[in-house]
Chains A and B, each alone.
Chain A
Amino acid sequence: MAPSADGPGISPTWNPIPVLSLEEEQELREAEAGYISPPLTAAFAAPVLDKRQISRLSQSICSEYPLPETLRFLKRVRSCTSRHEFLLRLATKEEEEDVLKSGGNQSDSAGVSAKPQKKVYTSDLWTIPPLTDIFPDKVLDLQGLGDPFLVYVPSRAPRNQKEQRLWLEYWPSTYHAKGSAEESQRHVSEEERTRIGRYMRIALEAARASQQRGRKGVGAVVVDPRNGQILAISSDRTDEEGGPLLHACMVAIDMVAQKQGGGAYACLKEEDGELGIAGEKNADVRKIQFIQKAESGEKLQDMESGKDTEQSDSQRNVADQEEGTKRKRSEETTEEGPYLCTGYEIYVTREPCIMCAMALLHSRIFCVYYGSSTPGGALGTCYRLHCCPGLNHRFQVYRGVMEDECRKLICPGKS
């Protein structure tokens, strides 16, 4: 394990904070206040009359009528006190209305009340489509199932065990700790924090070097998290020789393009060694070593341990990487065009503006880590572009990464 990213003897003063959508933030606040109930959607279920048929029914119904991708967390069978019940399929809005109109709010006697009102109901008042109407397209052997009824099931996966227990009141769900929003976004492990800090320090160093040359103190680093490779180290180039739109993110995107044989900005191509075009990997590694040494005053130790981690990671994940590369390549060549930041992370010292944020979205960035928030920022402050409902690509965003140091560079007077 590498020493703390803040250097020896300094306790960490920052933590990456996930920037969520307003909706998610509201949900989290409710969860913290102890009030949680799942959003619900109407579905048809039926009692299982013959338990021996369950596995056969599961097989045929699940393959012919799979649940939508987003609802795969729902179990197909639940066991109630006296019997089992099978989740058949979702009900359409019209079907739901028909059922409610015909019978009001009710429940199968053995069922668990499911509507938020929690009214008890009996099944005989219901006009429920028969099983054959519920599965009209394909001929299924539905032997073993009783009369169907309407039930309300959670429409969002539980994000922790507490939610999973609460969801059970409505319908049982599976819960995977890995990949759940709360687990992956709220708690960044110490190891992950160290990794994030390592790259942000490189962005900070680029920002510092830029400032020393009389330019703006904003820096960015593009990283492929699958193998730890650094694809670009950039800084703001809105100076005379640069261009008015060459914010650090725009420069970084073009450097990645250059590395792949493209690139749009001549002034960046001419940029010389020091913090210019990231050359082949060795040059990158030397650069990181140089920057890290300069930054932390440590010897190679920090870097070496970092490198070891990356190497063993890459050995472990060779298959993953190949898979990832294959996937990436096919995305690049068959889809809308080259989105060369697919799967990449960017570390930038200040919150991107709306132009840069959308440029990162167009480039299909995977994750953005930034230091200080800015009043016009588009990833949390003025807009939350990464979770904007109308847009076709979403990505993760963390703010507050080495925030104080990042802010000092942008507004040297303030702390």
Chain B
Amino acid sequence: MEPLQITEEIQNWMHKAFQMAQDALNNGEVPVGCLMVYGNQVVGKGRNEVNETKNATQHAEMVAIDQVLDWCEMNSKKSTDVFENIVLYVTVEPCIMCAGALRLLKIPLVVYGCRNERFGGCGSVLNVSGDDIPDTGTKFKCIGGYQAEKAIELLKTFYKQENPNAPKSKVRKKE
């Protein structure tokens, strides 16, 4: 994880990511915001769609990746070129699976808010972003910890309100 070097640009995009997470929370969705920025343009954004798709892999990042693919098609861009110049802004550290996907697509930089203690793939559980893994795309740079408390607070609020009558303490997903 790189030390925090927060530029104005990062602040602006992360602000948008947090707005998305807040929106998600207001609509009863898992509060994780995620933006794929190419040049100066948002080419993909997503939120968790695990329940709608009944597919446990549909995390915010995977949904955003799909949007980028659609954007590339609509704008006649080669997706490999686009992904190699994308920055991902996400309020929670990508999980091991998403980190693997980001590697495969050769996305060079990820900026995130809080750590993902349960599934984190950028150092918290495994270091998929930085390990040498043959035939699995490229390593990517991470800038983590941006407004981590805020990201955690959003998640806590969500899990508290989601199921007030839960019979037992439940272990929950971060995303």
- A and B from one assembly? yes
B136 touches A354 (CB 8 A): yes
Instruction: Indicate if A144 sits at the interface (CB-CB under 8 A).
Output: no
B173 contacts A257, CB within 8 Å?
Answer: no
Classify chain B's interface size: 35 or more
CA distance A254 to B124 in the complex (A): 27
**Does B100 contact A264, Cβ atoms closer than 8 Å?**
no
Determine if A257 and B55 form an interchain contact, defined as CB atoms under 8 angstroms apart.
yes
Residues of B near A361 (CB, < 8 A) are 97
B52 within 8 A of A: yes
Complex CA gap A375/B134 in Å reads 6
- CB distance A339 to B126 under 8 Å? no
Instruction: Evaluate contact between A392 and B100: CB separation under 8 angstroms.
Output: no
Given contacts A337-B50, A358-B96, whether A264 and B104 have CB atoms under 8 Å apart is: no
Asked whether A262 lies within 8 Å of B136 as measured between CB atoms, the reply is no
Return A278 CB to nearest CB of chain B, in Å.
Answer: 15
A393 to chain B, nearest CB (A): 10
Contacts of B88 in A (CB 8 A): none
Q: Are B57 and A250 closer than 8 Å at their CB atoms? A: yes
Q: Contacts A375-B134, A376-B134 given; indicate if A392 touches B118 (C-beta within 8 A).
A: yes
Flag if A362 contacts B171 (CB, 8 Å).
no
A245-B101, A245-B105, A376-B133 known; A359 vs B57 contact (CB < 8 Å): yes
Q: Which of A260, A339, A353, A364 contacts B136 (CB 8 A)?
A: A353
How close is B137's CB to chain A, nearest CB, in angstroms?
Answer: 9
Query: A336-B173, A354-B136 given as contacts; is B119 within 8 A of A262 (CB)?
Result: no
A341 to B125, CA, bound (A): 23
**Known A-B contacts A245-B65, A376-B136; A264 and B51 likewise in contact (beta carbons under 8 Å):** no
A374 at the B interface (CB under 8 A):
yes
A294 in the interface (beta carbon within 8 A): no
Contact mask B2-24 → A, CB, 8 Å, 1/0?
00000000000000000000000
Pair A245/B62 contact, Cβ less than 8 Å: yes
CB closest residue in chain B, given A260 = B54
CB distance from B78 to the nearest CB of A (A): 11
User: Contacts A336-B172, A354-B100, A358-B97 known; A264 to B125 CB distance under 8 Å?
Assistant: no
A253 within 8 A of B: yes
Partner of B125, one of A243, A359, A390: A390
Q: B172 — which chain A residues lie within 8 A by C-beta?
A: 336
A14 within 8 A of B: no
Report B144 CB to chain A, min CB distance, Å: 17
B79 in contact (CB, < 8 A): yes
Contacting pair A335 B170 (CB below 8 A): yes
Q: How far is the CB of B134 from chain A (nearest CB, A)?
A: 4
Per-residue CB contact flags for chain B residues 55-94 toward chain A (1 = under 8 Å, else 0) read 1111000110110010000000001100100000000000
Residue picked from B62, B69, B96, B135, most chain A C-beta under 10 Å: B96
In whole angstroms, what is the CA distance A44 to B135 when docked?
53
Q: How far is the CB of B174 from chain A (nearest CB, A)?
A: 10
B97 and A362 within 8 A (CB): yes
Q: Does B53 contact A (CB under 8 A)?
A: yes
Interface pair A363/B133, CB less than 8 Å apart? no
Assess the A264–B96 pair: CB atoms within 8 A.
Answer: no
Given contacts A250-B57, A359-B57, A391-B119, contact A244 B104 (CB under 8 A): yes
Q: Is B95 an interface residue (CB 8 A)?
A: yes
Q: Which residues of B contact A62 (CB under 8 A)?
A: none
A383 at the interface (CB under 8 A from B): yes
B residues 16-58 touching A (CB-CB < 8 Å): 49-58
Is the CB–CB distance between A337 and B133 below 8 Å?
Answer: no
User: Is there contact, CB below 8 Å, between A392 and B171?
Assistant: yes
Give Cα A382–Cα B83 distance, bound, in whole angstroms.
25
A385 proximal to B (CB < 8 A): yes
Beyond A264-B53, A264-B58, 6 additional pairs, beta carbon < 8 A: A250-B57, A257-B55, A263-B54, A338-B56, A356-B100, A359-B57
Q: Could you list some 6 contacts between A and B, CB below 8 A?
A: A244-B80, A253-B57, A264-B66, A355-B100, A375-B135, A391-B119
The chain B residues found within 8 Å of chain A, CB to CB, are 49-58, 62-63, 65-66, 69, 79-80, 83, 95-101, 103-105, 118-119, 121, 124-126, 128, 131, 133-136, 170-173
A residues contacting B by CB (< 8 A) are: 243-245, 250, 253-254, 257, 260-265, 335-341, 353-356, 358-359, 361-364, 374-376, 378, 382-383, 385, 388, 390-392
- 10 closest A-B pairs by CB: A262-B54, A355-B100, A358-B97, A375-B134, A257-B55, A354-B100, A362-B56, A376-B135, A358-B96, A264-B53
